[in-house]
Amino acid sequence: MHPLFDYVHRYTGTLLSEDEFALLLSHFTYKKIRKKQFILQEGEVCKHFAFILKGAMRQFYVDDSGMEHVVNLSIENWWAGDQESYVLVTPSKYYIEAWEESEVLLITYQNKLKLGKDFPAFNELLQRLDERNTIASQKRITSMISMTAEQRYKNFLESYPYFSERFPNHIIASFIGVTKDTLSRIRKKAATR
């Protein structure tokens, strides 16, 4: 079964017919992305959101001192893109890089709007996704405002159990907003309990 077919079914309970699914798929462009290749770079407009069929992506921001800060990580059945640049057609502040050899389905904002209008199941999918995104963002903001580094790491493992197998320590440390040394210390402490 195609991953996108499964995905729509899982989020909305809808089993699309063969024709419906072909029509849905025709709004996307398939692309292979080599490891270390960028699907978005700072200053570019984010013209597509990417549904990840295979692989892993990291979205990061480079501050004035040249330091990289990981703001998002995504793997199979997740989306990668910069919503602000995509919706408002403004230059992005972010880079999005394939962390592994990846395969994606790209969709333009116009096609996303079109699918949302013409396709009740896709519209419902977008709503469920937006809800989940809002929940995840709220959790992350709360954890950053109010939790210790140790609690943040625990939270991360619970919320994203697969990430620690796919991304190295320094990426995870940046994602949860702690230094690499702090993360090593927390992991050692956890291992000796």
Nearer to its own copies, 72 or 102 (CB): 72
Nearer to its own copies, 6 or 130 (CB): 130
Nearer to its own copies, 15 or 113 (CB): 113
Q: How far is the CB of 9 from its own copies (least distance, A)?
A: 19
Q: Copy the structure tokens of residue 183.
A: 């993360």
For residue 117, the 8-state DSSP code is: H
For residue 192, the 8-state DSSP code is: T
Q: How far is the CB of 4 from its own copies (least distance, A)?
A: 20
Q: What are phi and psi of 184, to 5 degrees?
A: -60, -45
Which whole-number Å values give the CA distances from 150 to 83, 136, 143, 157, 187, in the listed order? 30, 19, 11, 11, 9
Q: How far is the CB of 70 from its own copies (least distance, A)?
A: 8
List contacts with its own copies (CB under 8 A).
Answer: 61, 63, 67, 69-72, 82-84, 87-88, 93, 116, 123, 126-127, 130-131, 133-135, 137-142, 144-147, 174, 177
